[in-house]
Chain A
Amino acid sequence: MSRARRSLAGIPLRAALPFAAAVGALALLPLVLDPYALNLVTLALVMIAGALAWNWMGGFAGQVSFGHAAMFGIGGFVAARLLLATPLPAPLAWLAGGLAAGIFALGAHPTLRLRGPYFSIATIGLGEAARLVFTYWERFTGGASGLSLPIVAGGKEALYSWALALAAAAVAASWGIRRSRFGLQLLAIKADVEAAADVGVSATLHQDLVFALSGAVVGIAGGLYASYFSFIEPNDLFGFDRSISFVLMCVIGGVGTVLGPVLGAIVFVILHQLLLASYPQLYLGLYGLLLVLIILFEPLGISGLALRVARRLGRGGPPPAPLVTSAAGPASPPGAGGGGRGLAP
C-alpha cells in the first residue's frame, strides 16, 4: 500500500513532520489556554487515546466492541488503588492499570471467534457483567460510592503533558499498525477470516494481540481519567454509556481510519461541552441525528467528508486502494459468514 518512501529511519518525512508540528503546538497550549480550556483539552486527549485504541479492534480488525468500558474501568480502578495504597509515581500506576486491563482483555479470548453482531453482543454481556461485579466488589472499587484520590498540587499541568504523550503515542501506534504487516493481517481478518486463515493468518492469535493491546491502552486512559477527576465510581467508568462513547467517537470521526478517531474524540468532547451549554434540552437528540446522518450518508464520518471535500477541490489525488475500509464497506457478502460459525442460518 505504501508508495511514498522518502523516509527518515523508516518513517516518511511527510508524515513525521506534521505529526511533530502538531505535538509541538499542543505542547505549547498550556501557555495560552486558561485552566478550564486546558482541562477540556486534557480530557479530549485522554479520550483520543481511548478512541484510537478502540479503533484497532473495531476499525482495523473489524470487531465492534460494546464492552471497552470494562477495560477502561479496570485500568482506572487498578491505578487508583495503587495510587492510594503505594507511593508509586502516577505514570507507573497508570501503566500497571493498563497492564491489568490488557490481561483482562486476554481473558475475553473465547469470544474472539465470534464475528459481527455476535461479537458485539458478547461484549455487551461481558461489559455489563463486569459492571455489576465491580460495583458489588466493595473492597476493591469502593462499591457504589467509588474512590477518591488525593488532590495533587499542580497536578493538572503535569496531567496535560502525560495525556498529550499518551495521545501522541496512540496516534503513532495507530499509524504504525496501519502500515505494518500486522495491520494488513488485521485487515485481511476483517475482510474474510477463512481466506485469511488459508494464507496462514491466524485470526485468534492476531485478535488476541490486538484486543490485549487495545485493552491496555484503554486501561491507561482509564488511569489518567481517574487522576483527572480525582473521584471515580464504578457505574460511571464501567457504564454502558462509556462503552458506547468509544464507538461514537470512532463513528463520528471515521471507523478504521488512522486519524478519524482523533477528530471524533475532539468533536465528541468539545461538541458535548458546547451543546450542553447552549442546548441542554436537545443534545441527546442532536447526537442521535448526527449518528443517523453519518451512517446513512458518510460511513467514514468526518474523515470521509473531509476526503470528499479535498477531492472536490482537486487536491486529493485519486486514492487507488481506499485508505480505509469502512465498517459498512464491502467486507463480506451477507450470509457468507465472515466467521463461519454463528452467521449461517
Chain B
Amino acid sequence: MVQPVEVSSRSVGIGIRGIVKRFGSVTAVDGVSLTVEPGEFLALLGPSGSGKTTILMAIAGFEYPDEGQILVGGEDVTWTPPYQRNLGMVFQKYTLFPHMSVLENIAFPLKMRGVGRAEREERARTALATVRLDGFGERKPSQLSGGQQQRVAIARAIVYKPRVLLMDEPLSALDKNLREEMQIETKQLQREIGVTVVFVTHDQTEALTMADRVAVLDHGRLQQIGTPHELYEAPKSAFVAGFIGETNFWQGVARGAAAAGGSVSVELADGAVVEATAVDAVAARAKLRVAIRPERLSLTAPGQGLLTAHVQQEIYSGNATTLLLSTPSGQGLKLRLPAGGAMRGPAMGDLVGLRWAPQDARAFGSAT
C-alpha cells in the first residue's frame, strides 16, 4: 500500500473579505465575504455569470479584486502573483503539458521549487500512485483517457503539498458516469490528504455530493452558505430554493403578520389558503412566494387535502414517479411518489387532494 501524499498538516483556511470585481460596467463580484475552514471542501455554486469563477480566479491570483482582501492561512495574498501563492489548481480543461511525460508533468511543480531530480521523481511516483495510476508515468498525456488525464492533473496539483486546492469545474468535460465516479473519488482523496478545497461548479448535484459546505452565488452576490442539508431543507431565499433541487412555487398574499420562523396563512391567487412557514418576518398583506419540494407533497382523496388538483401527466423514472398536476387556477405543480409504494398511483385526468406539513412549505418575501 502506497502512502498517500500528506498535506493535512499544512492545510489552511481562506478568508474572502468584501471582494468586488468589475469588468467595465459589469460588476462580476459584488461584495462577497466568506470563510473556508482548514481542511474544508467548499463548493462555489451558481449559474453562469454568478461570479463564482471570478472569485476562484481572485483566490488563484489571475484576477485582482477592485475592492476587498483575500487571506490564505491568515496571510494577505490579494496582490501576490499566482506562482508565489503556493496553491494547487485543477482546471476545467486538461492542462497537462503535451510535450512532457505524465511523470514530468507531475514533477514540474517540484522542479520549479528546486527539488532535486531523484526526490522529484520519487515524489511524483508517489503522487501518481495516490491517484491510482502507477505505471502510467512514462506515457504522454495524449495517450490517456479524459478521466486519467484529470487524475494526473490532480496528482500534479497535490504533489507539492499546496496549502489549498482550487478546482474550476474539473469534471465538467467528462461523461456522466465517469463524472459521478470521479466526484466520489475526488472527495475520498480530499478526505485522505485533508487539503482545503474550493470547488467551482454550476451543477448543484455535484456540489451537494462533494462539498462540506456550499456557497450559492447569483449576480455576483453570496445568496447563502451552508451545508447541503441546510441549503436543501432551509433555503433562505426563493433563488436558493429554486436553484438547489426542484421546487414548486406559488404566488400569494399573507393573511396576517408573522415572525421569522412562524406560521403564516397565505392566500393564493385562486382564493385557496395554504399554511406555510415564514422564512423572514412578514407584514399582513405582504406578497409572498411559497416553495414546496415535489417529494414533500402527498396524495389524499379529492376534497380532503389542503388543495385539489388534476393529474396532467405521469412520468415514471424507476426509482420514483413524478406527477405533473394542475390546480383549478391553472398553476402547475410537481409531485414525486417514491417507488415501491403499495398504493397504485392515480391515472391521468384524475382529481386528487394534496397534503403537506406546514414546515415543508416555506414562504419567501416577493422581493427575493
Task: Tell whether A pairs with B.
Answer: no
B residues contacting A by CB (< 8 A) are none
